[in-house]
């Protein structure tokens, strides 16, 4: 992973530093937002977030991605220190247009896993090994990770990054994404409550 450049990024919650990286073998661009001194040796409050144009940029209620992104940035801003890795892995790695095809299948009754598989893809193609060189760039060796995804935790730990705490990030559950979240819990093992009325875990 090659570092490219950095700049200030003012947001409604804080002025972050935005850092650009490129993976030479694929040309895929990824970014990291940091706030405060993340290289001081202490565990860093972090979110590893995969790109979701529909949720992050178009306010879709079919998923919880946009709400997770905003909540994570607010949490980092409130703490005054942290990092958010924004990975260009749209649609759990299948890409934007295939994600739209998958949404069409979901409109016809398929769940998110079934839709990906009908298109010939695994349920989740995302990879997290690319996080290690980006975190190494900032001298970050341990995280307090905001996630509900056990696969993400396992893959990050496998790279040698320590996760000292997992912080649940369940937000914006609504009637439009209820089935999506239930499938995440049932088929992908995500740590999520299973109904709208169940108490938070």
* Mean pLDDT, all residues of the chain: 92
Q: What is the pTM of this model?
A: 0.90
Torsion-angle region of 36 (φ positive above 0: left; ψ -120 to 50: alpha; else: beta): left
Check the annotation: does 142 bind a ligand.
no
What is the structure's pLDDT at 192? Answer: 80
Residue 197 has pLDDT above 90, yes or no: no
Check the annotation: does 201 bind a ligand.
no
**Radius of gyration, CA atoms only, the chain:** 17
What is the structure's pLDDT at 200? Answer: 39
What is the structure's pLDDT at 161? Answer: 96
Cα–Cα–Cα angle for 44, 3, 164, rounded to 5 degrees = 15
CATH number belonging to the domain at 2-89+126-188, selected among 3.40.50.300, 3.30.565.10, 3.40.50.2000, 3.40.50.10990:
3.40.50.10990
Give 194's pLDDT tier (boundaries 50, 70, 90).
low
Check the annotation: does 63 bind a ligand.
yes
What is the structure's pLDDT at 58? Answer: 96
Residue that the structure tokens 């499938």 belong to:
183
Give 191's pLDDT tier (boundaries 50, 70, 90).
confident
Supply the residues annotated as catalytic: 124, 126
* % of the chain beyond a pLDDT of 90: 81
Q: What is the DSSP letter of 194?
A: S
The mean per-residue pLDDT over the stretch 44-54 comes to 97
Check the annotation: does 112 bind a ligand.
yes
Give 177's pLDDT tier (boundaries 50, 70, 90).
confident
């Amino acid at each position: 992973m090659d570092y490219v450049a950095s700049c200030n990024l003012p947001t409604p919650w804080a002025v972050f530093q935005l850092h650009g990286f490129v993976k030479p073998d694929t040309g895929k661009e990824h970014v990291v937002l940091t706030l405060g001194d993340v290289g001081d040796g202490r565990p860093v409050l972090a979110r590893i977030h995969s790109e979701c144009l529909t949720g992050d940029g178009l306010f879709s209620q079919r998923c919880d991605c946009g709400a997770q992104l905003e909540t994570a940035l607010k949490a980092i801003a409130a703490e005054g220190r942290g990092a958010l890795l924004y990975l260009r892995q749209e649609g759990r790695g299948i890409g934007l247009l295939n994600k739209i095809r998958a949404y069409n299948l979901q409109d016809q009754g398929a769940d998110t896993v079934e839709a990906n598989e009908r298109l010939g893809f695994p349920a989740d193609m995302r990879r997290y090994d690319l996080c290690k060189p980006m975190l190494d760039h900032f001298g970050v060796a341990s995280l307090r990770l905001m996630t509900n995804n056990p696969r993400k935790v396992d893959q990050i730990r496998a790279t040698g990054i320590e996760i000292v705490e997992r912080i649940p990030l369940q937000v914006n559950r609504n009637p439009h994404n209820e089935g999506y979240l239930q499938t995440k819990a049932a088929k992908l093992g995500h740590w999520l409550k299973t109904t709208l009325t169940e108490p938070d875990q």
